[in-house]
Structure 1
């Protein structure tokens, strides 16, 4: 992650979804939306095919990362993968899995090599990857694996939804609601909050982040009458964090955490389960919210939506969230550079 002029690497995601066309649309709106320079890791033939399907007449240039920023205003820079894609909009194909993974691998390699300032990932679908033998639960876990491979250090990725008016972090993520009370531990809350605090300082440029910690139960348990987790699991985590100098407070009733006056009192909200964090984030900024992975040794952002197979190839996919992800990735990368010792 070197230098303000280094471009962003965009992995194409599942080529049967809307990844290719939102990347095309983001490039088309580069001047109007002040999109920072990026290059797309993809099969160039697939990108040209999808451009024709959605009626986008774009110049495309195969290039290397080092040349991408200089070409960006005149053509969409594509760094060609060795894998080739089948262009079947709306119909995922496991034969594309190799290229999907290669794009992620190459983006991570480019970040570690200083060729890319950050990674922005277009959405992937799990089933075609699983059918091809992919053994990781999802995108984020695979990125953490790659980070550990490159650094030799254990990595704990943390998911953040970042919008213009709210940042939320789910402590537990893709598990059934019935499993949340067992999965939720004091240690997990503390570890998640530490990573959130550290990245808000180093990447978002906040001197002393304020972390609002939600309760699990209605009314944050109401003194134990509606559940014991708030008092026995969450409150001790907050006490530990405060003893470490982290400005964490709560547990707060989740139903009163997200109105404007409440949001003004914190920089990020740590929530106890997936929907508790994602519902307010998406309600406030469905098209602008960005998925940011904290805790990685490189910057990774992603649009806050899926592959949208149902609209792929129809020319109606909006690039708003991808554009927001590109802008946030650039902002975070530039903040790190600005804070590096002279």
Structure 2
């Protein structure tokens, strides 16, 4: 039906490559390139043979999704009511209980964004430069991703999905604003819809802000572990290539400029005029969502908390 698959590491949300029994799985560099180029038949056949792989669906300028995260602000019902009147076939899938993704078509104007309040993420828009885990894959917490609607992506063309346009996104932002969201809290990821308001590395409060601050103070604990192309150390920190977004030169990733600069004050992609928080940068580089990025960073910079549960994270964040 025109969807673009990508292999993910077993029980993870991260695009990966299987290097055989001896080496196992490693992160896939430049995975976002497959959103704008065709996957060769031989490569797709190879991916299908890899053991225990999860599967992701690459989002494009025309195929996007809205990820309903934790409803901290009590706004999801109003947003769902707004989306329900858009003509088209409704397709939703669920992984972790109480959260789900709904798929849409777009006209190229919608960019990836994360909308959050102090307690955590409310909503994510997954567009070009992002991927979402496909049905049949296994969530890191053990849940299997399933469809929760009669219609599925297997029998629905992208052209039959509801159209999510800029006007509707503006209405969604109005709803979010009434429930406590502000533009300052929005993080553009891989070309965010509200990219002009992307948070600085030291921004944020609660647990999210604490992890961001720890990460900025200890770059060497996590930046080298990311799959950032052409990464090299500089006098102030690190620089590399944001391979998760298309380059303007048309060159392959290894020949693109190092426009991504990371130091103790700022994570900024000068090739895309975008500022990232450490959590955003991890999510973009690893091709995962912000919750997964948060936990990945916490394992490297702290604070060290019990295994992830939404309630525990909220309580821990309030205590910081």
Q: TM-score, normalised by structure 2?
A: 0.32
Bigger Rg, which one? 1
Q: Which has the higher strand share?
A: 2
Where relative contact order (Cα < 8 A, 6+ residues apart) is larger, the structure is 1
